[in-house]
A and B are shown apart, each in its own frame.
Chain A
């Protein structure tokens, strides 16, 4: 939205109904502009997954408040839940208050707070409270607190302890901390010192927090916090070292990679997908395995196999937890620590049920949804919305006598539609061998399925394909797909999708291309390369 606001200003839009946003605290604008590829100095609210992981780390709780207390969903940008557009509105404020109360009450009752806030004096007192505030508060804020903050929290302690106990005061401070801006917003602001080129450098604590959330969706662990305190994280090599350590040792890092990959392809939508029970009566039975595969396969590729996007797109095996009833299997696949795998007739994640069912209607396949998803998120082909051509979208009428492909073929017969559908349709039609839940079919409405396509989009993966499996194999080998994946990883990592950081993305891609070829297609390496880069620690001055 920031970029959008800038566009509106630059374009001279005058919107009478919008009150001008207050600018207090902005300070004078620098005469020199920061390099355009840098993200602006900003704050971003924790996404729901980050909030849950944070309170779990801080209070050793097993709770996931955002689901237990019905937090609103994340506002997505470019499909990703971690982004700088998240806001705190009235409903979220109340959910945060309820969650803070639930967590603090639990932590007081189970002794967690007593452990975190010991006091030699049985009755406790402000000095013990101050110690708790400065130590636990620093973990919550992911940096040492300034004296103003300590004083404000001591005031909170006094309110909680009044006519009550030391423990009540500590619990009250905990409630406050969990609703504080210092906790809820990851800051990328620097220490207020603007460099001559109008840039600011993130503080060591901001670097540590950004790195921790990038890799684990959680706040820094003790080792990373110590590195922050020493100032070591300004060194790219130290950031790389810490990122690798977390990827190797922290299970939350694996969960984070799974989340990011699922959001990249939009297959996390399978969690909230349903099908017409008359057409696909087996879907409800198979759905848990479809969802499980969408997580376990990504985890297995990323951390137990090659770790490459090529394997994600081109693997000829899947995990044992997948919906094997829907697939043709042919013996055991690679032996992985997490469990057995099976060789299948499906090539890669695009031919698994989560993708196929997510991009389908409740009662039938949808080649256009599938084609657009591949074109935009795997091939990074720019496609305009039909609305930008003033085209009214008219879905083809149901016709039980012809195949789905035949019905959707109408697009390429219209010269206006053909401009985009010449790109979209071959991608989508290749998947027609799979129905709306991803089960294989030879007939569609009683007619033989036609999944043969010619992809001709002037990319390295162009070719004549018998079906989506052949196409996926070509995509898996393609440098274009690897590059596209890297672009989406940048958007996910930077929390800047929907064109909010196109210059930053271009800068990242330049650095990415300079990395060893073997690392380019590696999921973890791509994220590490972002953490190492100057764009990770520098921002345009506010």
Chain B
């Protein structure tokens, strides 16, 4: 039997190893040996601060399939850096320009639209109105049922449940709790599946499994008793609770599966985790650990759906050499040309500010490239779709137009990779156009969500609640 590269696995986590049995991996390799297609996986990634559109954009002499990601100014360099990531991912990405996140709110409150396609109503405290695509597929369409963990939501630096820093939302647009501690992520993904190999550990596990099941049975019964007394609006609330208990039960039961896999140690504890509370200097390491754990969980088929909310590196002496106040001194000072302003003619912009922002963009994409590298090492890159985006295009104007959109992986060939798709800016380049006029073009990311759902076998006419049906109805052309 083929075995997972232990060295690669442990190197990825960057921590010491402890050989512990791990059950689910067996199933994956059997699937591979049997010639069955790999199941489809989805990972959503949020990165802050929008994009330096001028340097992100396809250059005039490039085409959909002939392009260079390695030119010196490109924020997309990490996708074509074999020396760093072991291979180029140029043929594993689709870079899309011109997609809009129709949150109907300030760019800072728009992350919640990326996977929901929903307007965000209510300003700072606002939330989307419907579930995110990962939850829709994993939970509502039950595509996550065949793994121990239906889905996982990771984040760096903030576990607050606001639309501005959350990707995953359950039914009705209720935020899904995020994990910001890699140790907790490890526990959530792996701990319940670990069983020691000696007879005493097996006996302990059997007792714990029996007791755990009795607790979950009781808890589910109690929720059911309450559910029978409530009205339809409360049923949804209790159904989510039941769903969470079922997911927990699956993990408990997994302890009885045969085991034959190695796992790394639990990641080390960080002195601080939260933004504005001393966590910033650890964000880079936390991001890497999250990525490695997520890729490992996907690779071992522990889960097929995950999201990761990245953070910025606003602290003195950050490794990118960016200003301590990234937000004010990098994002807000970005001075766009017409390209970064939806096509509107606004002057040439300031290229120095593009370079500064591109440096951060390059950092964000280096993390996506790391994720692709790990997925590749675990043999699941071609069956996974990574959807990376931001809540803004032009960060100085907090614009939700022309947000950076990168699809990566393969999804078993359902999306043709190795391309750059360029949709037009809102207005024909260099012209003013009225949002109500015929020249104005919207390319809502709702259409991308419909396309992705279709690739997962869920045929939809629309995705996400918008003020006008035309924004949510349809698929992204040319994908």
Contacts and interface: CB of A to CB of B under 8 A. Distances in A.
Interface stretch (A149-157, A223-231, A309-317, A524-532): A149-157
Interface stretch (A21-29, A237-245, A328-336): A21-29
Contacts of B276: 272-274
B106 A181 contact: no
Interface in A468-499: 497-498
Nearest to B136: A17
Interface of A is mostly: loop
Interface in A1-20: 1-2, 4-6, 8, 13, 15-19
Contacts of A94: 187-188, 248
B460 A43 contact: no
Contact of A97 (B129, B215, B237, B465): B215
Contact of B316 (A88, A272, A277, A397): A277
Interface in B193-252: 207, 210-211, 214-215, 218-219, 221-223, 225-241, 243-245, 247-248
B461 A16 contact: yes
B318 interface: no
Interface in A23-79: 23-27, 40-43, 45, 70, 72-79
A426 interface: no
Nearest to B233: A2
A43 B159 contact: no
B347 interface: no
A75 B277 contact: no
B178 interface: yes
Nearest to A387: B105
Given A159-B211, A387-B103, A91 B332 contact: no
B160 interface: yes
A408 interface: no
Contacts of B175: 75
Interface stretch (A122-130, A254-262, A388-396, A512-520): A388-396
Contacts of A153: 218
Interface in B323-352: 324-325, 327-329, 332-333
A451 interface: no
Interface in A391-414: 392-395, 397-398
A25 B236 CA distance: 11
B171 interface: yes
Given A43-B226, A392-B399, A398-B328, A17 B130 contact: yes
Given A22-B235, A278-B316, A392-B399, A16 B460 contact: yes
A362 interface: yes
A239 B118 CA distance: 43
B230 A41 contact: yes
A93 interface: yes
Interface of B: 103-107, 121-123, 125-127, 129-131, 136, 140, 149-151, 153, 159-162, 170-179, 181, 184, 187-188, 207, 210-211, 214-215, 218-219, 221-223, 225-241, 243-245, 247-248, 274-277, 314, 316, 324-325, 327-329, 332-333, 396-399, 435, 453, 460-465
8 contacts: A13-B465, A41-B230, A43-B234, A73-B160, A91-B176, A92-B244, A387-B104, A398-B328
- Nearest 7 Cβ contacts at the A-B interface: A542-B231, A72-B177, A274-B276, A159-B214, A91-B177, A88-B241, A387-B105
